[in-house]
């Protein structure tokens, strides 16, 4: 939890993917997240959180469905979305909520 809090404090936007190994749609997000990283490069950090292994973080952010994505910047939660999203949509959301892009 402490490391997670340190990561989301930075100026670089952090896209957190709350997922689970047993979740089919979560598996679909892996190549999509790679596309987002390819598009935005160092302008975004992507962090994958397994809700089964990190229950404390999942409870803190009230994760009820997976996949759920959140964007943090400077320690603030800027956006939340659930379900499979396309790379262009996610990149657009990151750009719109980020003060750096």
Catalytically annotated residues: 23, 26
d(CA 5, CA 43): 19
Question: Which residues, 6+ apart, have CB-to-CB distance to 66 below 8 Å?
Answer: 18, 19, 20, 23, 25, 26, 51
């Amino acid at each position: 939890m402490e490391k997670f809090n340190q990561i989301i404090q930075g100026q670089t936007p952090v896209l957190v993917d709350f997922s689970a190994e047993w979740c089919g749609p979560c598996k679909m997000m892996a190549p999509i997240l790679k596309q987002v990283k390819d598009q935005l490069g160092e302008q975004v950090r992507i962090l994958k959180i397994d809700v089964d292994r990190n229950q404390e973080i999942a409870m803190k952010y009230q994760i009820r469905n997976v996949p759920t994505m959140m964007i943090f910047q400077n320690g603030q939660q800027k956006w939340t979305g659930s379900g499979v999203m396309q790379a262009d949509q996610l990149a657009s959301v990151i750009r719109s909520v980020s003060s750096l892009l």
